[in-house]
Amino acid sequence: MVARELVKKYKDLVAVDNVSFTIEEGEMFGFLGPNGAGKTTTMRMIQCVSPLTSGSLEIFGLDTMSHPSEIKSHMGVVPQENNLDMDFTVYENLLVFSRYFDIPRDEAERRANELLEFVHLEDKKDTMTESLSGGMKRRLILARALINRPKMLILDEPTVGLDPQARHMIWDKLRSLKKQGVTIVLTSHYLDEIEKLCDRLVVMDYGKILVEGSPAQVIEKYVGSGIVEAEHNPELIDCLEKKEANYEVIGDLVHIYTDNPKQIAEYLTMECSLSKLSARPATLEDVFLKLTGRRLRE
């Protein structure tokens, strides 16, 4: 997939503002951003359900504006909402959806059985969908998205609202699909999910891409490998200024970004007489909050 100078406008609102990116075949790629950042709009353009205002977007070597049907035939989508048909059984949901892709009945039945086994729902085959748990519904939606054996899988908040066991099962299935060569594009507010799963990611805000790279590269570049946390007070700030440390005041706490948290902690303990300190590895969430701010977005 190649996006060049992608723009999407809604009257006077520029939702996506001249972004360019490339997603390699077989890669797991994440879009991050606060509400209103433009990531959902970008995902809708990738799905060929929202036309571009300007720029170009090619998927499987095809232009999304001139070949949307062909592109969508090789794509699977897991939406954020559970949009299963509650009037059907688990098995029937897959068979009915297969008709959109003109899959012969015998082949559709074979794929449905394989997919139910893949997502561990074979014992729920004849269960009405409305009686499934939230985790089971998400697994069924994943199976449904795979009925056409897509080359690319698009996931919008794939594990929202799930318990840890269900989340990890979904993660295992996505890793398995990636090993099979499926390109996976996802967006999630669970930053540990993106950090664990994605080969590369972009962080968007106000319609623009702020940063692109692997999770490790992004963390190293913007916050360093470690963070020391301490209670905010004037003496601490003086010490940090003398040390020319990279820090940020966050309410009653101070975050010191460093590649050597042990050295910083020892300095603050010895030179600044601080005892309440904690050191931890830096995470993608630290990068996200540093780049996009901590103010709530509605």
Residue 179: enclosing H or E segment and its boundaries?
A: helix 164-179
Q: Which residue in this structure is represented by tokens 């101070």?
A: 254
Query: DSSP letters along 97-137, please?
Result: HHGGGT--HHHHHHHHHHHHHHTT-GGGTTSBGGGS-HHHH
User: Quick one: which of 175, 190, 174, 156 has its CA closest to 83?
Assistant: 156
Please write the tens of the pLDDT for every residue from 98-112. Answer: 999 999 999 999 999
Residue 254: enclosing H or E segment and its boundaries?
A: strand 253-258
Q: At 252, is the pLDDT very low, low, confident or very high (cuts 50, 70, 90)?
A: confident
Integer Cα distance of 67 and 58 in angstroms? 9
Please, what is the average pLDDT of the chain? Answer: 91
In the predicted structure, residue 155 carries a pLDDT above the cut 90: yes
Kindly list the structural domains of the chain, giving each domain's residue range(s) and its CATH number in brackets, ordered by start: 2-219 (3.40.50.300), 224-281 (3.30.70.260)
User: Quick one: which of 199, 197, 218 has its CA closest to 209?
Assistant: 218
Long-range (24+ apart) CB contacts under 8 A made by 157-160 are: 157/80, 157/187, 157/188, 157/189, 158/78, 158/186, 158/188, 159/188, 159/190, 159/193, 160/80, 160/188, 160/189, 160/190
Instruction: Please give the residue that has the higher pLDDT: either 90 or 258.
Output: 90
Report yes or no: 68 and 181 within 8 Å, Cβ to Cβ.
no
Integer Cα distance of 224 and 212 in angstroms? 16
Which of 11-20, 107-116, 122-131, 252-261 is predicted least confidently?
Answer: 252-261
Q: At 65, is the pLDDT very low, low, confident or very high (cuts 50, 70, 90)?
A: very high
Please return the burial class of 7, using the count of CB atoms within 10 Å of its CB with bins 0-12, 13-18 and 19+. middle
In the predicted structure, residue 229 carries a pLDDT above the cut 60: yes
Rg from Cα positions in the chain:
23
Report yes or no: 57 and 3 within 8 Å, Cβ to Cβ.
yes
